[in-house]
Amino acid sequence: MLFCLAPNTPKFEVFRLLNDELLHFLGQSVNTNTFCRALLTQDDIGKACWGNEPTREKFKLLFNALQVAGNDTKLQLFAVMRDNQNLEVFFSAPERNLFGFMSEGCQKALKLLCTHLYESTKDLGPVKAAGGTDIKAHFNAYQAQAVNGNICKACGMKELAPIRAGILEGDQWRADYDHQLCKSKYPIFAVHPDNLIPLCDVCNQDAKKAKDLFKHKNGTDRLAFYPFTEDAQTLIEIEIDNLRDPEPAIKVKWNTQDGLLVDKLNTWDEVYEIRSRVEGQFRSLEAIIEDEIRPRDSAHLASRISDKARPHTINTLKRKEWAFWYQKLFSQLQQIGTPDAEAFWEKLKFTQKQAKKGADFILNG
């Protein structure tokens, strides 16, 4: 994550209740040999899960698969879920093969149930009523300016959702929730309230998808930032190479030598494709200067760079796309020595003059 979540980030009560229901079911299954109502709680969530046929059938499918597997498997699965409820601890020492003891049939049934709880059961009327709010209301509370704001915490580049004037809060669009621990590989966290975070569509749908935070593509182990307490914002710098060249290279660099932090930074970069997105946005420094500053002369250019290099308030970072990254870029430009800056200005003037000549030629025939 570029920014860690705000300390007052609300937990979605529906997820907490469904997570507790799943844990209760696994615990009751250890010493029960018949699929029955007693496997679920007597609370409203248990009643809703039992009373909804598709949900009940998914519970039954897992129960039957565990019966075939035997008591040791039932006990071990319950222990795995019970002992890994603290996700901050799990992120510090992840268990990457949680379900190696389970048969393929058990794993498939577990994934079906957990996915169904997230995709369908959470939206049942009695479940939402028991939680006291629906997912739109939770998202609105999450993205409030006094909490996390409307900018994606993973990248700082995009809004979570457009805000439309004249639309009631409950009818506004919302961002999709990302499973930090993807439900295909870590199904027991499918409805864990600390595992679900709204992200922008690029981070969630285009970049992350079902990537495993704790395993590289080549299968080697890695670590990741815990989104409630850790982030990358103080560990990043922008580097500008060859300012006098026709196309200066702008690169995202890590400013730490700590091996643990570098590993987490590399995970964050690979999962959300941070470097390629930032360097793609900053592929033309001249265009950035023209679009953001429109300088009149070298003194005006230096003054405006100084203005834009000033750190933003936390409120700006919560509501303005790309604010963090542009401030980093202009902060680096501000540090460039006078000879290089003057040379860049002369090159910029020449480019602008050539562009004007070309425009005049087109307009005047």
Quick check: 244 and 347 in contact, CB under 8 A?
yes
Note whether residue 174 is domain-resident: yes
Q: Is the pLDDT of residue 358 over 50?
A: no
Residues 200 and 307 reside in one and the same domain: no
If you ran DSSP here, which 8-state letter would residue 242 be given?
Answer: -
- What is the pLDDT, as a whole number, of residue 360? 44
Note whether residue 83 is domain-resident: yes
Residues 26 and 118 reside in one and the same domain: yes
Question: What tens digit of pLDDT does each residue of 274-313 get?
Answer: 999 999 999 999 899 999 998 888 888 889 999 999 999 9
Token pair belonging to 113? 């149930």
Note whether residue 6 is domain-resident: no
Note whether residue 272 is domain-resident: yes
**Which residues sit opposite 249 in a β-bridge?**
241
Note whether residue 219 is domain-resident: no
- What is the pLDDT, as a whole number, of residue 231? 98
Residues 47 and 179 reside in one and the same domain: yes
Distance CA 77, CA 160 (A): 36
**Which residues sit opposite 177 in a β-bridge?**
198
Q: Which residue has 């199904």 as its token pair?
A: 187
Note whether residue 279 is domain-resident: yes
Q: What is the DSSP string of 173-239?
A: --PPEEESS-TTT-GGGTT-TTSEEE--HIIIIIIITT--TTB-TTS-B-----TTT--SGGGEEEE
Domain that holds residue 334: 233-359
Question: What tens digit of pLDDT does each residue of 156-172 get?
Answer: 999 999 999 999 988 89
Identify the CA nearest to 246 among candidates 317, 343, 359, 358.
Answer: 343
Question: What tens digit of pLDDT does each residue of 40-95 get?
Answer: 999 999 999 999 999 999 999 999 999 999 999 999 999 999 999 999 999 999 99
Could you give the number of structural domains in the chain? 2
Q: What is the DSSP string of 155-175?
A: TSSSBSS---TT--GGGS--P
- What is the pLDDT, as a whole number, of residue 338? 52
Measuring CA to CA, how many Å separate 203 from each of 113, 186, 260, 267? Answer: 26, 19, 23, 13
Residues 28 and 144 reside in one and the same domain: yes
Residues 187 and 237 reside in one and the same domain: no
Note whether residue 185 is domain-resident: yes
Residues 25 and 171 reside in one and the same domain: yes
- Provide the percentage of residues in the chain whose pLDDT is more than 70: 91
Q: What angle do CA 175, 181, 185 make, to 5 degrees?
A: 120
Q: Is the pLDDT of residue 341 over 90?
A: no
Q: What is the DSSP string of 107-140?
A: HHHHHHHHHHHHHTGGGSHHHHHHHTS-HHHHHH
| CB-based burial label for 304 (10 Å; 0-12, 13-18, 19+) | middle
If you ran DSSP here, which 8-state letter would residue 311 be given?
Answer: P
Mean per-residue pLDDT, 127-139: 91
Residues 140 and 26 reside in one and the same domain: yes
